[in-house]
């Protein structure tokens, strides 16, 4: 199914018919800063926090910090409290760690000037330690800098236990990158339990947990852990993808929790869209039917 969803033949049909653009509105905030700002302001009007992420073409990753800065500018006053989510590769970590650190520092400074924060994403096991090193080098000057720790990587629990006591902002999730069996958990049950353990460790040790999960049981467990550890509703947050469980995102903010929507935008919106559609069978069926109906 995933191979077919991403096939060139289907891509051409979806783009020609306009179906791709229609479906993209469910998951992506357009291809430029103005489109992202428009969607972001609408979400903010519902009480949701936002996390902006740029979707570059693979050969244009270096433009990511600039494009995120443009989005902040387009947001205006709505930039206050926003998060910028950035991949280490877009900072150049694979070629020059020192240059990546400088770009990250500049992005953190630009975000701070508008009342926003930055969170580093984690791009798999190959760059795991380099990403932590990059984060640690910057967080001493930019204390609000967040770090993503995928719980399906076994060492993540040790890193949470080490970093949380300093009040670190930790985005906890199950990663989307493959992990060798010797370094990660294999079954969904193991990953689920590991995510809960990292969440518990963060809350018990004074870290700021950002739970990036749509799983109803994990969300319920997070609320229970917060109560048991005396963590207020403003002492952690839920993070979910734009277009996924939108009513739950609204419900959480309506009852007083911090709920943040991960809001991607940029020229690689189609590639992102097909990834999301292929991952959800019901959406995939609707997408294929819409393409067929409009041919």
Same domain, 16 and 36: no
Q: Does one domain contain both 134 and 236?
A: yes
- Please state, in angstroms and rounded to a whole number, the distance separating the CA atoms of residues 106 and 121: 17
203 found inside a domain: yes
pTM of the model: 0.90
Q: Establish if 290 belongs to a structural domain.
A: yes
Q: Tell whether 270 is covered by a domain.
A: no
- Is 118 part of a structural domain of the chain? yes
Q: Are residues 171 and 241 in the same domain?
A: yes
What are the tens digits of pLDDT across the range 23-41? Answer: 778 889 989 999 999 999 9
Q: Is the pLDDT of residue 285 over 50?
A: no
Residue 271 lies in a domain: no
Could you read off the pLDDT of 175-193 as tens digits, one per residue? 988 899 999 999 999 999 9
pLDDT in tens, 47-91: 999 999 999 987 779 999 999 999 999 999 999 999 999 999 999
Q: Could you tell me the CATH number of the domain that includes residue 156?
A: 3.20.20.220
Are 104 and 126 in a shared domain? yes
Runs of H (alpha helix) within the chain: 2-5, 8-17, 19-27, 33-45, 64-75, 97-113, 128-139, 156-163, 188-204, 216-228, 246-254, 269-279, 281-294
Do 292 and 162 lie in one domain? The reply is no
Model pLDDT, residue 10: 55
Number of domains the chain is built from: 2
Are 171 and 289 part of one and the same domain? no
My answer on whether 249 and 289 are in the same domain is no
Same-domain status, 33 and 17: no
Instruction: Copy the structure tokens of residue 189.
Output: 């049950």
Its domain, for residue 290, covers: 1-21+276-295
Same-domain check for residues 133 and 242? yes
106 and 13, same domain (yes or no): no
| Same domain flag for 290 and 146 | no
Are 15 and 37 members of one domain?
Answer: no
């Amino acid at each position: 199914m995933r191979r077919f969803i991403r096939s060139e033949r289907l891509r051409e049909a979806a783009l020609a018919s306009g179906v791709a653009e229609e479906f993209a509105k469910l998951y992506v905030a357009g291809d430029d800063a103005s489109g992202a700002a428009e969607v972001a302001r609408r979400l903010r009007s519902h009480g949701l926090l936002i996390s902006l992420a740029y979707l570059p073409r693979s050969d244009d990753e270096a433009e990511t910090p600039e494009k995120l800065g443009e989005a902040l500018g387009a947001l205006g006053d709505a930039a206050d409290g926003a998060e910028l989510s950035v991949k280490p590769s877009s900072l150049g970590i694979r070629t020059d760690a020192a240059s990546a650190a400088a770009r990250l520092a500049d992005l953190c400074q630009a975000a701070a000037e508008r009342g926003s924060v930055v969170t580093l994403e984690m791009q798999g096991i190959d760059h795991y330690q380099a990403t932590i090193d990059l984060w640690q080098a910057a967080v001493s000057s930019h204390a609000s800098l967040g770090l993503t720790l995928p719980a399906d990587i076994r060492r993540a629990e040790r890193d949470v236990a080490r970093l949380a006591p300093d009040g670190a902002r930790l985005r906890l999730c199950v990663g989307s990158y493959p992990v060798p069996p010797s370094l990660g958990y294999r079954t969904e049950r193991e990953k689920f339990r590991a995510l809960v353990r990292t969440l518990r460790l963060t809350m018990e040790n004074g870290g700021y947990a950002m739970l990036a999960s749509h799983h109803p049981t994990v969300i319920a467990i997070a609320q229970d852990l917060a109560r048991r550890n005396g963590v207020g509703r403003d002492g952690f947050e839920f993070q979910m993808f734009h277009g996924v469980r939108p009513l739950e995102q609204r419900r959480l903010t309506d009852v007083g929790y911090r709920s943040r929507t991960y809001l991607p935008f940029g020229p690689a919106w189609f590639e992102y869209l097909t990834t999301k559609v292929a991952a959800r069978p019901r959406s995939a069926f609707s997408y294929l039917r819409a393409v067929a109906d409009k041919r």
